[in-house]
Amino acid sequence: MEIQDGAELCFPELLNSSCRKSTPHRFEVVLLNIVLSSMSVLTVVLNLLVIISVSHFRQLHTPTNILLLSLAVSDFLVGFVLLPGEIYQQTQCWFLGDLMCSLYYYVVYIVFSTSVGNMVLISADRYVAIIHPLHYTTRITVTKSKFCVFLCCLCSVFYSSVVFKDALIQPGIQNSCYGECIVVVSYIAEVVDLVLNFIAPVTAIVLLYMRVFVVAVSQAHAMRSHTAALPTSITD
């Protein structure tokens, strides 16, 4: 690898294989750190409040709140792991090693997949609550919600393990120099991921909420008609 004269290296002792340090403008670095740090702190604090509230107060242990708790944990990890990792990657050379690089992307992928799964579960929960309100308490229980959350996390871990199998077995295989953190997945994996983590969940959420909206509107019309008919009945 050819290094330009005067370039700062991530690992000066590895002259021929070290990456060069990125040299962005100081204003860009400061702005990026401020924005991402603020988002990270806000995400961590707000989701931590949700986690503590739902976990501490037993009266909040409802099926819906269990799903919200799982989503809050996922979002908390986004603020605690993903955003600080992005700050580190954008402003520094990667000094944590190839294995930590692969594990970082692996954990981020699990968190993202779990968040998507939680949003689908919340949509399904709201669907049952609106469409079948009389059967909601029997069909959706706290135990079933916990099992769905566990199954969602398990599937995310398994799916991420398949996607990042090569990166975990051979960490740093895609890196072109020391001090770089890159994980590249195959084209087929990208297409499958696009379908499973974006197209299918978004389609399911949109269809569920469209059905909920239609039923809610029809129920509102029925209640309005019933209310309008009450004075006539009283007069008769």
Mean pLDDT computed over every residue of the chain: 85
- pLDDT (tens digit, 9 = 90+) per residue, 140-174? 999 999 999 999 999 999 999 998 888 888 887 87
Question: d(Cα 123, Cα 212) in Å, to the nearest integer?
Answer: 9
Where residue 24 falls among pLDDT bands split at 50, 70, 90?
Answer: low
125 within domain boundaries: yes
pLDDT at 7 over 60: no
15 within domain boundaries: no
How many separate domains does the chain show? 1
Query: Is the dihedral angle over the CA atoms 7, 10, 15, 18 positive or is it negative?
Result: negative
**CATH number, residue 100:** 1.20.1070.10
Where residue 123 falls among pLDDT bands split at 50, 70, 90?
Answer: very high
Residue 89 lies in domain: 26-230
188 within domain boundaries: yes
164 within domain boundaries: yes
140 within domain boundaries: yes
21 within domain boundaries: no
Where residue 2 falls among pLDDT bands split at 50, 70, 90?
Answer: very low
Decide which of 12 and 210 is more confident.
210
102 within domain boundaries: yes
- pLDDT (tens digit, 9 = 90+) per residue, 61-113? 999 999 999 999 999 999 998 888 888 887 788 888 888 989 999 999 999 99
13 within domain boundaries: no
Query: Mean pLDDT lowest for which of 13-22, 90-99, 131-140, 184-193?
Result: 13-22
